[in-house]
Amino acid sequence: MLMDTVLFYAFAALVLGGGIFTITCRNAVHSAISLIVSLLGVAGLYLLLQAEFLFAVQIILYVGGIMLLFLFVIMLVNLDREAKERQFSRRWVVALAAVAVVGAEIAYFLYRGRDAFHIAEAGVAVPVAAALGNTEMLADSLFSEYLLPFEIASLLLLVAVVGAVVMAKRRI
């Protein structure tokens, strides 16, 4: 139990530290590296939450796929000039104020509703389908209950692939 707590705080530090560096770094490549750190932290949290399939997906898809895409685009568009300029928009005070209000709201809701989560916590003690693996349970649910959304998601990916190619092509 102590190990879990220590690991949680370590991964949380990775997630939040990586996130903060992502939005403050001057160089976009540094931002991308920080984003990798943050996403790896999220993957560790998935492992702590016993979502092993999502852990693998997170590393393969995000750290392998999306980050490669980001790094390619950063190399493709010339960002040397941007790095020497002002990084934040002029209205950052307004943005920070708005985010502070939303943060206060979320904090208030979490504080008021903190007792509601203990009821959910009682369910952890009995792992019902421990015989089935995490991937197996996920596949069961995905291919029976959520079959139509699954197919729609595949269609969405097809559209995204075609759209990205059309968008980035010089002349169709």
Partner 1 sequence: MHPVTTIHYLVLSAALLLIGTVGVLTRRNIVVVLMSIELILNAVNINLVAFSHALNNINGQVFAVFVITDAVAEAAVGLGILIALFRNKETVRADEIDLLKW
Residues 18-77 that bind partner 1 (CB under 8 A): 19-20, 22-23, 25, 28, 31-32, 35, 38-39, 42, 45-46, 48-51, 53-54, 57-58, 61-62, 65-66, 69-70, 73-74, 76-77
∠ Cα 24 28 30 (to 5°) = 75
| DSSP string over 4-73 | HHHHHHHHHHHHHHHHHHHHH-SSHHHHHHHHHHHHHHHHHHHHHTT-HHHHHHIIIIIIIIIHHHHHHH
Tokens of 119: 């009821």
**Exposed e or buried b for every residue in 57-71, given b needs 16+ CB within 10 A?**
ebbeebbeeebeebe
Q: Is 3 in the site for partner 1 (CB under 8 A)?
A: no
Shortest reach from residue 35's CB to partner 1, in Å = 5
In the list 10, 64, 106, 151, the residue contacting partner 1 (rule: CB under 8 A) is: 106
In the list 10, 64, 82, 108, the residue contacting partner 1 (rule: CB under 8 A) is: 82
Residue nearer to partner 1 on the CB measure, 131 or 168: 168
Residues 110-169 that bind partner 1 (CB under 8 A): 110, 114, 117-118, 120-121, 123-124, 126-129, 134, 137-138, 140-142, 145-146, 149, 153, 156-157, 159-161, 163-168
111: phi then psi, degrees, rounded to nearest 5: -70, -45
**Rounded (10°) CA dihedral 133, 138, 143, 149:** 180
Size of interface with partner 1, in residues (CB under 8 A)? 91
Shortest reach from residue 97's CB to partner 1, in Å = 10
In the list 10, 64, 102, 133, the residue contacting partner 1 (rule: CB under 8 A) is: 102
Q: How far is CA 146 from CA 17, 48, 139, in A?
A: 35, 25, 10
In the list 10, 64, 87, 147, the residue contacting partner 1 (rule: CB under 8 A) is: 87
Shortest reach from residue 156's CB to partner 1, in Å = 5
